[in-house]
């Protein structure tokens, strides 16, 4: 029997990506779509590429009957999400794609997001949604917090290394290249084609990016002690994808073995042969993450490169992977589509 799914905030990119993935999911059925500013419109007018699907029109959240819904994907903006989820029935399973429940500590939340959390009980309840590392908790969770897309990439690259202590935890440098859809469909000057084409630029430089809060929380948890990374994202002229280059102090072969072992049984995380590194496009529009390790002419240095699609594995694909677990489905259901290349 299909599970009834509602998507709140369906008019953004992560909402559209959820619908795209559910289109071929064997047991999910879209029962409701919300989109406040576009309430009343058919999805085909917001996203004509979904024209062939038989979808409910966008509705206001308050007009949606969630009684028969089994799980809600909440793809609302940060801060809005906590307000909306607080109002939902406590029996309803929720996968939140916003940043609202990623940080468990109210003080950390306030530090990175600039205001106090308004739903601290939910914050406590939420399970961090990095499936490969929280699989069992997610299976039993009612509320799962989707990770930041950059934070996911970094953790796939680093988490096993931090856990095993095979790198110098005081000297982790991460240089990330992010495509534009990570910033959503928002109207900002630097996201215009004329500005971004033929351009690259660092942003949130110097340790100001909010996903660093997730690195602090999760890598410290993994290490059993405080870990503080240096993290610099760059915007690149592409639509989808993240490529992360991590500069580490440690033995490259041991780094490689640690990652290869950690992911040996994971379907979605592929570790390349030692000495090869992934390209961003090789995971495009898929739920796969590719990781590679190389050494350096300078001994004791290892470079780890990780690639994933910010909208799929970094967000909506991850959300469906988690929902599969929460609803007792096969974890990979609806997620095995191969990357789109070229």
Is there a contact between 127 and 137 (Cβ–Cβ < 8 Å)? yes
Residue 197 or 265 having the CB closest to a copy of itself: 197
Minimum distance from CB of 199 to a copy of itself (Å)? 4
Of the candidates 268, 252, 341, 258, the one whose C-alpha atom is nearest the C-alpha of residue 301 is 252
Interatomic CA distance for residues 100 and 161, integer angstroms: 27
The secondary element (H helix, E strand) that includes residue 93 is: strand 93-96
How many Cα atoms within 13 Å fall on the side-chain side of residue 59?
Answer: 14
Minimum distance from CB of 135 to a copy of itself (Å)? 19
Minimum distance from CB of 17 to a copy of itself (Å)? 8
Interatomic CA distance for residues 287 and 267, integer angstroms: 10
Handedness of CA 230, 186, 240, 327 (dihedral sign): positive
Interatomic CA distance for residues 52 and 210, integer angstroms: 37
Residue 137 or 296 having the CB closest to a copy of itself: 296
Cβ partners under 8 Å of residue 92, min gap 6: 66, 69, 71, 72, 142
CA dihedral of residues 116, 119, 124, 129 (deg, nearest 10): -90
Cβ partners under 8 Å of residue 315, min gap 6: 14, 17, 97, 146, 149
Residue 194 or 265 having the CB closest to a copy of itself: 194
Minimum distance from CB of 257 to a copy of itself (Å)? 17
Cβ partners under 8 Å of residue 31, min gap 6: 4, 5, 6, 56, 68, 69
Q: How far apart are the first and last CA of the chain?
A: 36
Minimum distance from CB of 287 to a copy of itself (Å)? 10
Catalytic residue flag (residue 149): yes
Minimum distance from CB of 23 to a copy of itself (Å)? 4
Residue 89 or 239 having the CB closest to a copy of itself: 239
Q: State both tokens at 235.
A: 């915007």
Residue 122 or 302 having the CB closest to a copy of itself: 302
Q: From the candidates 74, 149, 246, 289, which is the catalytic residue?
A: 149
Q: State both tokens at 143.
A: 């509320």
Name the residue with tokens 């059925």: 29
Residue 239 or 330 having the CB closest to a copy of itself: 239
Task: Please give the positions annotated as active site.
Answer: 149
């Amino acid at each position: 029997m299909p599970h009834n799914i509602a998507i709140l905030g369906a008019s953004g990119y992560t909402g559209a990506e959820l619908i795209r993935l559910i289109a071929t999911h064997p047991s999910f059925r879209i029962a409701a779509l919300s989109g406040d500013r576009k309430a009343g419109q058919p999805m085909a007018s917001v996203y004509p590429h979904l024209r062939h699907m038989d979808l409910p029109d966008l509705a206001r959240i308050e007009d949606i009957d969630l009684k028969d819904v089994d799980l809600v994907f909440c793809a609302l903006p940060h801060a809005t999400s906590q307000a909306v989820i607080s109002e939902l029935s406590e029996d309803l399973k929720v996968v939140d794609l916003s940043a609202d429940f990623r940080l468990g500590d109210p003080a950390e939340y306030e530090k990175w997001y600039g205001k106090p959390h308004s739903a601290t009980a939910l914050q406590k309840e939420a399970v961090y949604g990095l499936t490969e590392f929280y699989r069992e908790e997610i299976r039993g969770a009612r509320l799962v917090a989707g990770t930041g897309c950059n934070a996911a990439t970094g953790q796939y690259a680093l988490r096993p290394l931090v856990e095993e202590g095979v790198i110098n935890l005081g000297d982790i440098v991460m240089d990330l290249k992010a495509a534009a859809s990570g910033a959503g469909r928002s109207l900002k000057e630097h996201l215009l084609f004329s500005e971004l084409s033929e351009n690259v630029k660092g942003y949130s430089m110097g340790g100001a990016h909010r996903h660093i809060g997730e690195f602090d929380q999760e890598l410290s948890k993994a290490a059993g002690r405080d870990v503080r990374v240096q993290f610099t994202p760059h915007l690149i002229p592409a639509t989808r994808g993240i490529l992360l280059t991590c500069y580490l102090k440690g033995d490259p072969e041991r780094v490689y073995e640690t990652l290869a072992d950690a992911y040996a049984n994971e379907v979605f995380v592929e570790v390349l042969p030692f000495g090869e590194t992934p390209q961003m496009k090789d995971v495009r529009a898929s739920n796969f993450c590719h990781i590679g390790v190389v050494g350096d002419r300078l001994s004791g240095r290892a470079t780890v490169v990780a690639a994933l699609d910010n909208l799929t594995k970094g967000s909506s694909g991850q959300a469906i992977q988690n929902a599969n677990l929460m609803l007792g489905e096969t974890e990979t259901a609806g997620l095995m589509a191969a990357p789109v290349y070229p």
